[in-house]
């Protein structure tokens, strides 16, 4: 069985306040690209995880691998041997580890079904994991785990992801947020929320990783209808009206910045 761990992007990410528990109150519009890591699973006597692919080296700690942790959250009558092809950069604002965990939940759901408390089990692994289980456009509130349905009017939209190949951990970016509540997300369809929204972590992320500003400037120079940083960075996304415009932008950026990582896809 083979499944894709779809790359997560935040079309809007509004940070409202710091909570007493140390987390932050968020409003976000999750969307997912039809490309990402790939998990292959087969029955086995016991669970195991093998990591291959371009970014396999970023997951060299077996105790910090969300695929293994997700397997541990979902007891079954049989083991699963999973090979993870790591195509997404690590610490990149794409929810790569969360997407991998979400894919494990889908694998187990297909083979055995999920327990009724699957959402709580997913939440225990990370704030993005519940959204990544379904990997569909949705609104997240609270720490991002309180999910609400959103329309899917952006499905099929061509998207380009670009990362300067600089890892950026989430914790320092949230810590550098200035604490100013800049207001709630708009209401309406997904396109309206995205266009009228913002990413409140963009400024602190750029302070920690100035290359993000270069990526955004280069993306906006290709005339997308929206370019923004995803999550806590450093990956940025650009949305285009058609595939030709996206592909021309990708080719131009690859020529100008051959060292940057990029991935093309469409929103699911």
Please give the angle made by the CA atoms of 82, 98 and 136, to the nearest 5 degrees. 105
- Per the annotation, the verdict on 128 as an active-site residue is yes
61-69, Cβ contacts within 8 angstroms, sequence gap of 24 or more: 65/97, 66/97, 66/98, 66/100, 66/101, 66/125, 66/126, 66/129, 67/39, 67/100, 67/101, 67/104, 69/101, 69/125
Set 8, 69, 73, 86: catalytic member:
8
CA–CA dist 27, 95 (Å, integer):
16
Q: Are 200 and 13 in contact (CB under 8 A)?
A: yes
Set 37, 47, 100, 128: catalytic member:
128
- Per the annotation, the verdict on 8 as an active-site residue is yes
CA–CA dist 13, 23 (Å, integer):
15
Both tokens assigned to 243: 């595939």
Other C-beta atoms closer than 10 Å to the C-beta of 124 total: 11
Strand 79-85 versus strand 48-52 pairing type? parallel
Both tokens assigned to 47: 């669970």
231: part of which helix (H) or strand (E)?
A: none
Cis-peptide, bond into residue 234, ω within 30° of zero: yes
Q: Supply the Cα-derived Rg of the chain in whole angstroms.
A: 18
Q: Are 152 and 137 in contact (CB under 8 A)?
A: yes
Residues taking part in catalysis:
8, 128
């Amino acid at each position: 069985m083979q499944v894709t761990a779809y790359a997560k992007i935040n079309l809007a990410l509004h940070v409202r306040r710091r909570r007493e528990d140390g987390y932050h109150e968020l409003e976000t519009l999750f969307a997912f690209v039809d490309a990402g890591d790939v998990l292959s699973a087969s029955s086995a006597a016991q669970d195991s995880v093998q990591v291959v692919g371009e970014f396999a080296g970023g997951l060299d700690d077996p105790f910090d691998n969300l695929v293994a942790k997700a397997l541990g959250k979902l007891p079954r009558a049989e083991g699963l041997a999973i090979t993870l092809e790591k195509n997404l950069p690590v610490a990149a604002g794409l929810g790569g580890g969360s997407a991998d965990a979400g894919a494990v939940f889908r694998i187990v759901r297909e083979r055995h079904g999920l327990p009724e408390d699957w959402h709580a089990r997913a939440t225990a692994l990370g704030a993005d994991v519940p959204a990544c289980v379904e990997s569909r456009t949705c609104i997240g509130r609270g720490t991002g785990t309180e999910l609400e349905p959103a329309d899917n009017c952006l499905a099929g939209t061509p998207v380009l992801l670009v990362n300067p190949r600089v890892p950026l951990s989430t914790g320092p970016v949230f810590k550098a947020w200035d604490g100013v509540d800049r207001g709630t997300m708009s209401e309406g369809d997904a396109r309206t929320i995205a266009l009228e929204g913002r990413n409140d972590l963009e400024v602190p992320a750029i302070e920690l990783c100035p290359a993000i500003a270069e990526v955004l400037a280069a993306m906006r120079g290709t005339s997308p209808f929206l370019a923004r940083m995803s999550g806590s960075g450093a990956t940025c996304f650009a949305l285009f009206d058609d595939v030709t415009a996206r592909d021309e932008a990708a080719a131009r950026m690859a020529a100008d910045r051959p060292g940057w990582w990029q991935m093309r896809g469409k929103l699911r």
